[in-house]
Structure 1
Amino acid sequence: MPEAGAASGAGGGPGAGSGRASGAQGDEDLSAAHVPGSDGGAAPEDAGAPGGARTARGGKLAAAAVNQASVWNVANLLTMLRLVLVPAFVALMLADGGYDPAWRAFAWAAFAVAMITDLFDGHLARAYNLVTDFGKIADPIADKAIMGAALICLSALGDLPWWVTAVILGRELGITLLRFLVIRYGVIPASRGGKLKTLTQGVAVGMYVLALTGPLATLRFWVMAAAVVLTVVTGLDYVRQAIVLRRRGIAERRAALKETEA
């Protein structure tokens, strides 16, 4: 994969940086330090010369171009696809009044593609060093957008109680806000329960999107019930982790301050 190789080369190897952003930053540092045409580096007497300044500026512009190009990798393209699928899903879901089985099947297909790409883009970004600032922001937005759109459409059509939508979306938005509030003390890692919750939610919502009847309609009720329970339980666990992380961070800062004063 060309872009993965570009990231590795920019950062001095796959393990040299934490992602595409760090690799591009390494390129910028190298461009500023090594001016083409010099003998192994930027000589001090060249640094103040107009030609040297122009070359250095050209190096920074080249690094900026690398930064911009690094956004267009496979992982980010999958994230963009999920964002595009959100309005497409809503249009398909509400087509012909929202109760036509054929349109609901197309809506399910769009939802399924979005959920499947969610499994792959994060793995690709980490495995091939394609992590970017855009991906860090857009990926969770795409996840929340497709799930939120599905839940709201289902509740608006009367297929799913509004309180279920409120519990799931409230938990997702609340935990996202909680992560930002405690990020100064550390990062709350994704737990196995959280991953199971995401999988169960996807299966349950997908079953509700399809116009199921009979035993399958009964089964989807229990799958959604399990998803709601996991949503609440894992949400409370994240709150506990956030409290522990904050207390630990405050204690470490106080200890460091005491050492400095001593």
Structure 2
Amino acid sequence: MTGIPASAAGGPSGARGAASVPGGPGAAGTSGAKAVQSPGNREGAGTSGERDGARPGRGGKLTAAAVNQASVWNVANLLTMLRLLLVPGFVALMLADGGYDPAWRSLAWAAFAIAMITDLFDGHLARTYNLVTDFGKIADPIADKAIMGAALICLSWLDDLPWWVTGVILGRELGITLLRFLVIRYGVIPASRGGKLKTLTQGVAVGMYVLALTGWLATLRFWVMAAAIVLTVATGLDYVRQAVVLRRRGIAERKAAAEEAAR
């Protein structure tokens, strides 16, 4: 994984962090000055926790040395790997005994729920403890789309969900992923609140369809899925709008920079 180097705390905040280290470069600063330590410069400051290597810093966060020593086998990536392993297991449970046995469908729902929950935790852990790795950047979105795609395709295969619903959701997810890559040279399209709500609604709706529900719960899941489809389309269009704006802004900035350099 690529940890945040200690030099990332440079600048004024880094200097304040250095002043708290006896004998460090900032030791000649104002006496009695207290270092203002944010989560970033706690990792960059030369504390004893860094010298010890793997001791957590103040606030429970790992210090820079611990982050630098982390490998691809960190807890966030392990949760991502678990999600990938759950995909074939989910499909096997979903299609067991013809795909309509309530007991097998309940087990399939449990596997799906675990995959969706770990999706929430691995991203949070990676951002909080700086466990972002190249493997995680690639594997995490693959795992997300694999479990959701497997569930949708199985449901459509069993005639529990129309194929057009599966096509809309998967088409949107793959299309937005491709769009992000196309405009990445101009900037990153951030995840919106609508996008997060869409993901949650999709997970709840698909989970309800995985379970063998009857009666009013079967009616409820129809409306939850309808809401998920609306959010899927609406947020997809919004991401397209953001991509267009980002591209235009990037082109304008590059043109302005070129004109400035030509003067």
TM category, shorter: 0.7 to 0.9
Q: Is the 8 A contact 2:201 2:224 kept in 1?
A: yes
Deviation at 1:7, TM superposition (A): 4.9
Amino acid at match of 1:202: G
Distance 1:131 1:120 in 2: 13
Amino acid at match of 2:200: L
Match of 1:153 in 2: 154
Match of residue 11, structure 1, among 6, 12, 18: 6
Distance 1:11 1:82 in 2: 32
Distance 1:250 1:184 in 2: 10
Match of 1:167 in 2: 168
User: Normalising to structure 1: TM-score of the pair?
Assistant: 0.76
Distance 2:6 2:190 in 1: 25
Match of 2:130 in 1: 129
Deviations 1:103-129 (A, max 9, x none): 000000000000000000000000011
Match of 2:208 in 1: 207
Match of 2:140 in 1: 139
Q: Secondary structure at the match of 1:226?
A: helix
Match of 1:233 in 2: 234
Distance 1:11 1:115 in 2: 34
Amino acid at match of 2:153: I
Deviations 1:26-72 (A, max 9, x none): xxxxxxxxxxxxxxxxxxxxxxxxxxxxxxxxxxxxxxxx77x6101
Amino acid at match of 1:259: E
Q: Secondary structure at the match of 2:161?
A: coil
Match of 1:87 in 2: 88
Deviations 1:111-162 (A, max 9, x none): 0000000000000000011011100000000000000000000000000000
**Structure 1 portions without partners, runs of 5+:** 19-65
Identity %: 85
Q: Does the alignment pair 1:197 with 2:198?
A: yes
Q: Is the 8 A contact 2:3 2:132 kept in 1?
A: no
Q: Secondary structure at the match of 2:244?
A: helix
Amino acid at match of 1:139: D
Distance 1:7 1:255 in 2: 34
Q: Secondary structure at the match of 2:40?
A: coil
CA RMSD of aligned residues (A): 2.1
Match of 1:76 in 2: 77
Distance 1:119 1:125 in 2: 11
Distance 1:166 1:223 in 2: 17
Q: Secondary structure at the match of 2:251?
A: helix
- Select the structure that is richer in helix: 1
Amino acid at match of 1:102: A
Distance 1:7 1:183 in 2: 22
Amino acid at match of 1:79: T
Match of 1:105 in 2: 106
Amino acid at match of 1:126: R
**Structure 2 portions without partners, runs of 5+:** 10-38, 44-67
Match of 1:186 in 2: 187
Deviation at 1:11, TM superposition (A): 3.4
User: Normalising to structure 2: TM-score of the pair?
Assistant: 0.76
For residues 28-43 of structure 1, the aligned pairs below 5 Å read none
Match of 2:220 in 1: 219
For residues 55-70 of structure 1, the aligned pairs below 5 Å read 70=71
Amino acid at match of 1:15: G
Deviation at 1:182, TM superposition (A): 0.1
Q: Secondary structure at the match of 1:183?
A: coil
Distance 1:116 1:78 in 2: 10
Amino acid at match of 2:255: R
Summarize the Cα distance change of 1:98–1:239 in structure 2 as closer, same or farther, 3 Å threshold: same
